[in-house]
């Protein structure tokens, strides 16, 4: 097989997803700073980009990784179910922050930030390293290809 993707097997699932988590954390920190400095217009734009990036990240995780794992003899089904529930909870917190920004011109992002960091920490330190260790080369390659297709289709 000739690999035409920009990812390689040297790019572990963990490495790719950590990069995504770092970008989300950076954006959320930027939003938090803008809100503290009362830069509401900037904060609204940053929030919109953060919201899009977070939803895109969840979609990639769910479509490229979680569904694949569940199709592979139910591997990690309880972990993926819990992570998808956390995605739902994070999206609810995101909605609250959006409403606060739009209606009050400010928001407390601390709950969202804490929840997102806890979620990312579990994925970065436990879930993705375990997948990189337990999945075969071909399984990881299939996941990496699905991630790339998700990224390219935007």
Percent of the chain with pLDDT over 90: 58
pLDDT at 5 over 50: no
Whether 40 contacts 106, CB under 8 Å: yes
Rounded-to-integer distance, Cα 21 and Cα 24, Å:
5
pLDDT at 4 over 80: no
pTM: 0.85
Segment 92-106, tens digit of pLDDT: 999 999 999 999 989
Q: What is the pLDDT of residue 74?
A: 61
DSSP secondary structure string, 86-153? HHHHHHHHHHHHHHHHHHHS----HHHHHHHHHHHHHIIIIIHHHHHHHS-HHHHHHHHHHHHHHHHT
Q: What is the pLDDT of residue 11?
A: 63
More confident residue, 71 or 131: 131
Whether 140 contacts 16, CB under 8 Å: no
Average pLDDT rounded to a whole number, residues 82-86: 93
């Amino acid at each position: 097989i000739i690999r035409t993707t920009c990812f390689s097997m040297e790019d572990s699932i963990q490495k790719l997803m950590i990069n995504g988590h770092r970008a989300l954390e950076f954006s959320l920190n930027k939003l938090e700073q803008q809100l503290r400095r009362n830069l509401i217009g900037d904060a609204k734009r940053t929030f919109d980009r953060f919201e899009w990036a977070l939803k895109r990240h969840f979609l990639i995780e769910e479509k490229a990784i979680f569904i694949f794992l569940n199709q592979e003899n139910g591997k990690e089904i309880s972990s993926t179910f819990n992570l998808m529930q956390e995605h739902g909870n994070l999206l609810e917190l995101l909605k609250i922050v959006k409403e606060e920004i739009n209606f009050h011109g400010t928001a407390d992002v601390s709950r969202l930030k804490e929840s997102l960091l806890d979620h990312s920490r579990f994925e970065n330190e436990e879930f993705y390293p375990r997948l990189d260790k337990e999945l075969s080369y071909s399984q990881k390659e299939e996941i990496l290809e699905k991630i790339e297709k998700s990224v390219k289709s935007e």
